[in-house]
């Protein structure tokens, strides 16, 4: 997904994965910055979530709702446009 997101955003892919400990350290830094009343581009919890191993079983959702109607590429592109339009990027 990182490769797809980088292509859509028009930026290079990160050359190496960022270690989890570095992401958690940055998250703590963001928490401190926000606690001081300084506006930050993200919340610490957003970063912490990005390094968690999350797995979901989609079988029940697909059986009930049907398979996705749009590709992951289109979904990421639409999300990117929304974030950009609303000033989050």
Residues 3-55: pLDDT tens digits? 999 999 999 998 888 899 999 999 999 999 999 999 988 889 999 998 998 88
- pTM greater than 0.85 (yes/no): no
Query: In Å, how far from its chain's centre is CA 4?
Result: 12
| Residue 56: predicted pLDDT | 87
CA distance 74 to 28: 32
CA distance 20 to 51: 6
CA distance 78 to 42: 20
pLDDT bracket for residue 79 (50, 70, 90): very high
């Amino acid at each position: 997904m990182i490769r797809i997101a980088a292509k859509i955003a028009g930026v290079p892919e990160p050359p190496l994965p960022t270690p989890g400990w570095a992401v958690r350290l940055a998250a703590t830094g963001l928490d401190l910055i926000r606690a001081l009343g300084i506006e930050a581009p993200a919340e610490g919890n957003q970063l912490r979530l990005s390094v968690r191993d999350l797995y979901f079983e989609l079988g029940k959702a697909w059986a009930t709702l049907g398979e996705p109607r749009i590709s992951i590429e289109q979904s990421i592109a639409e999300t990117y446009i929304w974030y950009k339009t609303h000033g989050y990027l």
